[in-house]
Amino acid sequence: MRFMLNWLLTSIAIAIATFLVPGIQPFGMADAWVCFAFVGLFLNIVDSLVKPFLTVISLPLTIITLGIFQLVVNSFMLELASYLSVNILGAGISIASFGSAFMGSILVSIMRSILDSIAKN
C-alpha cells in the first residue's frame, strides 16, 4: 500500500514540475496523466534500485560540495526515469536539457516533501 501512495505522490509531483518548468513536457500517445504515472513508477523504481548505488559512489563529491552534488544525482535519476518510461512503455516526459532536469528534480523533491507531510496527516 505504501508503494502505491509513493507512486501517486511522485506522479503528482512530476505533473506539477512539468507544468512549472519550461523544457519538460508530456511525451507519447497517451494522456498526460498516464505519462506522469509512468514516469512516477519508473522514478520510484530507479530511486530504490539505482540511486543508493550512485549515492555511495558519489559520496566523496557530495561531501566536498556539502551535499549540493546530490541535486545532480537527483537530476540524473529524473532523466533516467524519463528515458526508461519513454523507451519501454512509449509514454513519459520529454526533458529538453540538463537545466530543465535540474530544476525539475528540485521541484519534484520539494513537492514530494510537501505531499508526504500532507499524506501523513
Reported as a single tens digit per residue, the pLDDT across 1-46 is 888 999 999 999 999 999 999 999 999 888 999 999 999 999 999 9
Q: How many CB atoms lie within 10 A of CB 107?
A: 20
What whole-number percentage of the chain has pLDDT above 70?
100
pTM listed for this prediction = 0.91
Reported as a single tens digit per residue, the pLDDT across 71-111 is 999 999 999 999 999 999 999 999 999 999 999 999 999 99
Separation of alpha carbons 29 and 13, rounded Å? 21
3-state secondary structure the chain: CHHHHHHHHHHHHHHHHHHHCCCEEEEECCCHHHHHHHHHHHHHHHHHHCHHHHHHHCHHHHHHCCCCHHHHHHHHHHHHHHHHHHHHHCEEEEECCHHHHHHHHHHHHHHHHHHHHHHHC
